[in-house]
A = this chain, B = another copy of it.
Amino acid sequence: MIIGGGAAGSTAAQFARKQDRDAEITVLERGEYPEYSRCGMPNVLAGDIPKFEDLVEFSTDWFERNRIRLKLSTETTSVDLSAKKVEFRSPEGNGVERFDSLVFATGASPAPLNIEGLAKEGVFQFRGINDSKALQNWCAKKKRNVLIVGAGLVGLEVADALSKMRHRVTVVEYLDQVLPAMIDPDIAEPVAAMAKKASISIITSSFVRSLAGGSAVEAAEIVSRADSSPSKLKCDTVVLAAGQRPSTDLGVKIGCSMGAKGHIRVNSRCETNQPGVFAVGDCAEYLDFVTGEPLAAGLGTLAVKMGEVAGRNSAGGTATLPKGFINSRVTRLFGMEIAAAGPLYSSLAGKGIACVQSRMKGSTLPPYFPGGKDLTVKLVCTDQGQLLACQIIGEKEAAMRVDIVSAIISAGQGAKELTQLDNAYAPSVAPCVDVLAAAAQGILIKIGRK
Q: How far is the CA of A77 from the CA of B289 in the complex (A)?
A: 57
> Given A48-B428, A407-B407, does the pair A422, B289 have CB atoms closer than 8 Å?
yes
Instruction: For A433, give the chain B residue with the smallest CB separation.
Output: B304
> Given A400-B401, A404-B403, A423-B301, does the pair A49, B368 have CB atoms closer than 8 Å?
yes
- Inter-chain contact B424/A329, CB cutoff 8 Å: yes
Q: How far is the CB of A413 from chain B (nearest CB, A)?
A: 6
With a cutoff of 8 Å between Cβ atoms, the chain B residues found around residue A70 in the complex are none
With a cutoff of 8 Å between Cβ atoms, the chain B residues found around residue A370 in the complex are 48-49
A300 is an interface residue with CB less than 8 A from chain B: yes
A316 is an interface residue with CB less than 8 A from chain B: no
Q: How far is the CB of A117 from chain B (nearest CB, A)?
A: 33
- Inter-chain contact A429/B49, CB cutoff 8 Å: no
- Inter-chain contact A300/B54, CB cutoff 8 Å: no
CB-defined interface of A361-377 with B at 8 Å, one 1/0 digit per residue? Answer: 00000111110000000
- Inter-chain contact A421/B410, CB cutoff 8 Å: yes
With a cutoff of 8 Å between Cβ atoms, the chain B residues found around residue A411 in the complex are 407-408, 411-413, 417
- Inter-chain contact A301/B432, CB cutoff 8 Å: yes
Instruction: For A324, give the chain B residue with the smallest CB separation.
Output: B422
A402 is an interface residue with CB less than 8 A from chain B: yes
Residues A301-327 near B (CB distance < 8 A): 301-302, 304-305, 321-322, 325-327
CB-defined interface of A182-211 with B at 8 Å, one 1/0 digit per residue? Answer: 000000000000000000000000000000
Q: How far is the CB of A151 from chain B (nearest CB, A)?
A: 17
With a cutoff of 8 Å between Cβ atoms, the chain B residues found around residue A299 in the complex are 425
Q: How far is the CB of A358 from chain B (nearest CB, A)?
A: 17
Residues A323-358 near B (CB distance < 8 A): 325-332, 337, 339-341
Q: How far is the CA of A406 from the CA of B399 in the complex (A)?
A: 16
A426 is an interface residue with CB less than 8 A from chain B: yes
With a cutoff of 8 Å between Cβ atoms, the chain B residues found around residue A332 in the complex are 426, 428-429
Q: How far is the CA of A410 from the CA of B420 in the complex (A)?
A: 9
Q: How far is the CA of A444 from the CA of B403 in the complex (A)?
A: 21
A contact residues, total (Cβ < 8 Å): 66
Q: How far is the CB of A226 from chain B (nearest CB, A)?
A: 33
Number of this chain's copies in the assembly equals 2
CB-defined interface of A27-45 with B at 8 Å, one 1/0 digit per residue? Answer: 0000000000101100100
Q: How far is the CA of A413 from the CA of B407 in the complex (A)?
A: 10
A24 is an interface residue with CB less than 8 A from chain B: no
Q: How far is the CA of A34 from the CA of B370 in the complex (A)?
A: 21
Q: How far is the CB of A52 from chain B (nearest CB, A)?
A: 10
- Inter-chain contact A425/B366, CB cutoff 8 Å: no
A397 is an interface residue with CB less than 8 A from chain B: yes
With a cutoff of 8 Å between Cβ atoms, the chain B residues found around residue A427 in the complex are 37, 39-40, 43, 49
- Inter-chain contact A429/B330, CB cutoff 8 Å: yes
Interface centre among A40, A321, A368 (most CB of B within 10 A): A368
Q: How far is the CB of A407 from chain B (nearest CB, A)?
A: 4
Q: How far is the CA of A440 from the CA of B108 in the complex (A)?
A: 31
A430 is an interface residue with CB less than 8 A from chain B: yes
**Interface positions of A (Cβ within 8 A of B):** 7, 37, 39-40, 43, 48-49, 54-57, 289, 299-302, 304-305, 321-322, 325-332, 337, 339-341, 366-370, 397, 399-404, 406-408, 410-413, 417, 420-430, 432-434
Q: A300-B425, A328-B422, A403-B424 are in contact. List 9 more A-B contacts (CB 8 A).
A: A39-B426, A43-B369, A49-B427, A55-B368, A300-B432, A330-B425, A339-B429, A407-B407, A410-B422
Q: Which 6 A-B pairs have the closest CB atoms?
A: A411-B411, A400-B400, A330-B424, A326-B422, A407-B407, A399-B424
- A selection of 23 A-B contacts at a CB cut-off of 8 Å is A37-B366, A37-B432, A39-B425, A39-B427, A48-B428, A49-B369, A300-B425, A301-B422, A301-B425, A325-B422, A328-B424, A329-B424, A331-B426, A331-B429, A337-B426, A337-B429, A399-B430, A400-B403, A400-B430, A406-B423, A407-B408, A408-B411, A411-B413
